Amino acid sequence: MSFQRVISQTHAVSYFQGVISRGRLGHAYVFYGPEGVGKALFARELAKALFCQTKGDASTSGGLPSNDACDVCNPCRKVDSGMHPDLYWVIPLEGKRDIGIKQIKALEDRAYLKPLEANRRVFVLEDADKMTEEASNCLLKTLEEPPPGTLFLLTTTAIPSLRRTILSRCQVVRFQSLPTEVVRGLIDGGRPEGPSTADSAHPPEVRLRRMSEANLADLPLLLSCGSPGRATKLREERVTSHIDRFLEMLQEVRSVDSFSITQELMEWCPDTTGLEGRRSLLRTWLDLLLAYYRDMLLYKVRGGGTGLFYGGFVPSFETRTRDLSADTLLQILEDIATTIEGLYSNANLNLLLDNLFLRLASYERATGNR
């Protein structure tokens, strides 16, 4: 089975099957891609393919290729249970945001030991972009002069956050977003279709709950960008419970006090979720805001409303895009993107949002006074 467990990452699978077959496996790789698309799973399956005792033996491996694992031998079972002594996994410690220097020093110590059962040691650094500067410096020294028989696998969703010197010593493998139907199957397990929302008795603003002809239950799926992990989080965060009010706010940016919008959004993202949870929730609402102004720009440039996320807003787009120029809409998109980046800095979240909504209101009011 092994690599067959990795869904919709055919490039990564074929690449590593090739380098294993040719004996050209490098010493360090960065697995880069959206959250929840199989990077850590692939790292585990790759370790199994390297440790498996029966690969290449058709009588015991079910005819699997020599560069895949059987899933049933003792080494494969140990990898699956997290008990293989030559597979070492590093993640941020519970309650910590970062991977610290002590964790990397412990990795370094193990890297210079001989393998206990396999012919190599495999080290997986999950969310490697969360290493502190000290930890990054320590890992860099190991990557510059890797001990014989070691393989380092770093996973990240934010490759710009990794030091260039580390990237220069690794081969980067891109993991793709998963197709929408694949994500649906992974997070729903075959969830049946929800009730129809095509009730024409409702006005467009209410029917927008479908978010461009999709059932409201699919909103997390639409926002996931092909990431099952993100789709699952969005569903758990119950974003849909505030969507009607959010749609109203989109229409009120020009006339409503910007500070009240910030206050309302922050109430939807309570302190009880923790800082990371709050950032994640705010990111979701800002993604929705970004999609709204993106649709407005597309409508203005195309002169039509096909293929829009907010398909039900076409009547209001027709009115609002008369005043908002394409350049202004591009600036708005840039402002929202900058705010999203700011969520992950040490900026005050309230001030960050206040500044954004003040700017949005100023653009809207300026056009309204023409």
Tell me the angle at which helices 133-144 and 101-111 cross, rounded to the nearest 10 degrees: 20
Q: Which residues contact 333 (CB under 8 A, 6 or more apart)?
A: 290, 293, 294, 297
Same domain flag for 227 and 358: yes
Same domain flag for 193 and 333: yes
The rounded distance, in Å, linking the Cα atoms of 38 and 7 is 7
pLDDT digits (tens, 9 = 90+) for 260-275: 888 888 888 777 666 7
Give the ranges where the chain is alpha helix by DSSP (H): 10-22, 39-51, 58-61, 74-81, 101-111, 133-144, 164-167, 180-188, 204-207, 219-223, 228-236, 243-252, 258-268, 274-302, 314-320, 326-342, 349-368
Q: What is the pTM of this model?
A: 0.60
The confidence band for 132, taking pLDDT boundaries of 50, 70 and 90, is: very high
Task: Retrieve residue 59's tokens.
Answer: 């009588």
Same domain flag for 161 and 60: yes
DSSP string, 41-60: HHHHHHHHHHH-SSTT-HHH
The rounded distance, in Å, linking the Cα atoms of 103 and 31 is 20
pLDDT of 70 higher than 50: yes
Provide, rounded to the nearest whole percent, the portion of the chain with pLDDT above 90: 33
pLDDT digits (tens, 9 = 90+) for 295-305: 889 888 887 76
Task: Retrieve residue 199's tokens.
Answer: 């009730």
Boundary-marking domain end, from 141, 174, 207 = 174
* 121-125 β-sheet, strand order: 87-90, 121-125, 150-156, 28-32, 171-174
pLDDT digits (tens, 9 = 90+) for 156-214: 988 888 999 999 999 999 988 776 666 666 656 543 333 333 333 333 333 343 444 44
The secondary structure of residue 155, as a DSSP letter, is E
Higher-confidence residue of 169 and 277: namely 169
pLDDT digits (tens, 9 = 90+) for 142-161: 999 999 999 999 999 888 88
Identify the sign of the CA torsion 66, 71, 72, 74.
positive
Q: Which residues pair with 172 in a beta bridge?
A: 30
Same domain flag for 143 and 256: no
CATH code of the domain containing 7: 3.40.50.300
pLDDT of 17 higher than 60: yes
CA-wise closest residue to 139 among 100, 83, 95? 100
Task: Retrieve residue 124's tokens.
Answer: 């997986």
User: What is the rounded end-to-end Cα distance, in angstroms, of the chain?
Assistant: 65
- How many structural domains does the chain have? 2
Q: Which residues pair with 171 in a beta bridge?
A: 29
Chain centroid offset of residue 108 CA: 28
Residue 31's domain spans which residues?
Answer: 2-174
| Backbone conformation region of residue 256, classed left if phi is above 0, alpha if psi is from -120 to 50, else beta | beta
Same domain flag for 57 and 203: no
The confidence band for 96, taking pLDDT boundaries of 50, 70 and 90, is: confident
Boundary-marking domain end, from 174, 202, 231 = 174
Same domain flag for 264 and 290: yes
Task: Give the three-class secondary structure for 127.
Answer: coil
* The pLDDT of residue 219: 58
Same domain flag for 187 and 150: no
Same domain flag for 184 and 286: yes
Task: Give the three-class secondary structure for 152.
Answer: strand
The rounded distance, in Å, linking the Cα atoms of 301 and 285 is 25
Same domain flag for 197 and 168: no
The rounded distance, in Å, linking the Cα atoms of 251 and 244 is 11
Boundary-marking domain end, from 134, 152, 174 = 174
The rounded distance, in Å, linking the Cα atoms of 281 and 288 is 11
Highest mean pLDDT among 21-25, 98-102, 231-235, 271-275: 98-102
Task: Retrieve residue 267's tokens.
Answer: 């109430």
Same domain flag for 230 and 361: yes
Token pair 């494969």 in the structure block, residue: 76
Q: What value does the mean pLDDT take over residues 97-120? A: 93
pLDDT of 103 higher than 50: yes
Same domain flag for 241 and 97: no
pLDDT of 18 higher than 60: yes
Q: 72-81, 141-150, 235-244 — which is least confidently predicted?
A: 235-244
* The pLDDT of residue 188: 60
Integer angstrom CA distances of residue 202 from 186, 249, 286, 310, 312: 33, 19, 27, 16, 12
pLDDT of 335 higher than 90: yes
Q: Indicate the average pLDDT of the chain.
A: 79
Same domain flag for 188 and 169: no
* The pLDDT of residue 311: 72
CA dihedral 205, 210, 211, 212 (to 10 degrees): -100
